[in-house]
Amino acid sequence: MPSLIPLGPKWSHLSPAKFIVSASDTRFDRQIRFAAMGEQGQARLQSARVLLVGTGALGGVLAQNLVRAGVGELILCDRDIVELSNLPRQVLFEDRHAAAKIPKATAALETLARIGGPTKLRAEACHVDAENLPELADGVQLVLDGTDNLATRYLINDWCVAEDTPWVYGGVVGSGGLVLPILPGQSACLRCIFPDPPPAGSLPTCDSAGVIAPAVGTIASMQAGAALRILSSARGKGTAESPTHAPGMTPKLLQIDVWTGSLLTVDATRRPGCPTCDEGNFEFLHAAATRDPVVLCGRNTVQISGGPTKPDLGAIAQRSAAFADDVQNLGVLLRITDSGIVLTLFPDGRALVEGTDEVDRARALYDRYLGA
């Protein structure tokens, strides 16, 4: 098994990418025998770079599928840490990750690296926003949605349409969910189907309505199937006769419920007047990245974004030891316990303040240890 070397906030696992598929290479033999994939499709897959936003429930299944299929490079982004309640449905995590509250992106990379194969993995423990998405997604051929919030999805939609990059939307709650592959210029984008984000708190979430693992696995597997088709397809030149992405693929909105066994497909055609893909209005991408604290739904946790400079975790740990109840410097993050509230500080200055949903209280604790 390849070794893992911690590199500050980023962990990298590098193994030689096999961009030419050899007849004697049996690792992907069954995949190559699938006529729609073939040797050329496998070679395209192994030269592709993919951004996965969210490595939890949907993201864990997506990541496993792509690594086992041999995708060339997979960038793993997640803002959260592993908790015990994640384990029934988030397949990349174990008890030890939850006990230590490891960043999800780091834990995901560790688990995926044990699979082996040619995939290059990169982990970013960060909140994806309008400021860092262009850098994170630079040079990717596909973006995959493993996130749990609509704001990030509308941001991804804007960036992908603006950059002519396919992405695959997925959402799950309870026993069912939705899947929509989006091919810019060819199919509906997210705003063609859902023109505007619904009001905050108006939709059920996994925290409010629960979720079961078979629903997660089914929705993520459909996303992964669409991803493999897009990545392994020949790319055209953007004409009607030769589409830019996945020739012959006609994306549809798919709704599946694993409890009732119901399945519904809806044509996903572009909507005239769509503010994003028809009018070119990328309001979510061009909006300034918010630095306001965010209350995480159902978590009794507040997320606070970092400032313009990165904190010195070692210095903060040393200074905090005199008045905090407990200080744990874990290298890739710093955990401070104060009066029953836990502040987890990341290298980019972002923090999760667990044990309160009061923004002012969370902000005050953050400022106490990092300075106003």
Return the beta strands (E) in 210-329 as ranges: 252-257, 262-267, 294-296, 301-304, 326-329
**Cα separation, 231 vs 239, whole angstroms:** 19
pLDDT band of 200, cuts 50, 70, 90 = low
Residue 361 shares a structural domain with residue 242: no
DSSP state of 348: T
The residue type of 149 is N
Q: Where are the alpha helices (DSSP H) in the chain?
A: 29-33, 38-45, 57-69, 95-100, 104-113, 133-136, 150-163, 190-193, 206-209, 213-232, 283-286, 313-320, 359-370
Q: Give me the DSSP letters along 121-185.
A: EEEE-S---TTTHHHHTTT-SEEEE--S-HHHHHHHHHHHHHHT--EEEEEEEBTEEEEEEE-TT
pLDDT at 208: 67
Cβ–Cβ under 8 Å, residues 255 and 264:
yes
Confidence band of 14 (pLDDT split at 50, 70, 90): very low
**pLDDT of res. 3:** 29
**206 in active site:** yes
Query: Nearest 5°: phi and psi at 320?
Result: -80, -20
pLDDT class of 290 with cuts at 50, 70, 90 = low
Considering the domain architecture, whether residues 197 and 327 belong to the same structural domain is answered as no
- The domain boundary, picked from 286, 303, 336, lies at 286
Helix (H) or strand (E) holding 337: strand 334-338
The active-site residue out of 77, 126, 192, 206 is: 206
Looking at the predicted structure, is the pLDDT value of residue 5 above 50?
no
197, 318: one domain:
no
% of the chain at pLDDT higher than 90: 62
In sequence order, the 6+-apart residues with CB closer than 8 A to the CB of 52 are 59, 62, 63, 66, 74, 75, 76, 77, 143, 144, 146
Asked whether residue 196 falls in the same domain as residue 74, the answer is yes
Claim to verify: residue 267 and residue 311 sit in the same structural domain: no
For residues 178, 181, 182, 188, the Cα torsion angle rounded to the nearest 10 degrees is: -60
Residue 201 is predicted with a pLDDT of: 58
Residues 48 and 80 in one domain: yes
pLDDT tens track for 16-27: 333 344 444 799
Asked whether residue 355 falls in the same domain as residue 251, the answer is no
Q: Are 249 and 211 in contact (CB under 8 A)?
A: no
Task: Please give the backbone phi and psi of residue 21, each rounded to the nearest 5 degrees, phi first.
Answer: -85, 120
Instruction: Show Cβ contacts of residue 291 under 8 Å, excluding neighbours closer than 6 positions.
Output: 305, 307
Provide the CA 19 distance to its chain's centre, in angstroms: 25
Largest CA distance in the chain: 69
Domain boundary among 262, 286, 310: 286
307 and 276 share a domain? no
Q: What is the pLDDT of residues 236-255, one digit of tens each?
A: 544 444 467 888 899 999 99
Same domain? 159 vs 100: yes
Domain boundary among 286, 306, 323: 286
- What is the number of domains present in the chain? 2
Task: Give the chain's radius of gyration (CA, Å).
Answer: 21
Q: Do 16 and 87 share a structural domain?
A: yes
DSSP label at residue 199 = P
Question: For position 309, which CATH number holds?
Answer: 3.30.310.10
CATH number at residue 37: 3.40.50.720
295-329 pLDDT, tens per residue? 876 688 998 887 667 888 888 888 888 889 999 98
Distances (CA, A) of 25 to 16, 19, 20, 42: 14, 12, 10, 12
Q: How far is CA 264 from CA 146, 212, 256, in A?
A: 21, 19, 7
Q: How far apart are CA 369 and CA 162, in angstroms?
A: 40
* Tokens (6 digits) for 76: 């793993």
Confidence (pLDDT) at 40: 95
Average pLDDT, stretch 323-351?
88
Q: Which residue type does 38 have?
A: G
Model confidence pLDDT, tens digit, residues 103-149: 999 999 999 999 999 999 999 988 898 989 999 999 999 999 999 88
Residues 204 and 302 both lie in one domain = no
| 172 and 148 co-located in one domain | yes
Phi, psi of 247 (to 5 degrees): -55, 135
Task: Please tell me the distance from the alpha carbon of residue 78 to that of residue 69, in angstroms, as a whole number.
Answer: 22
How far apart CA 326 and CA 345 sit, in angstroms, is 14
User: Which residue range is the domain that position 232 belongs to?
Assistant: 5-286
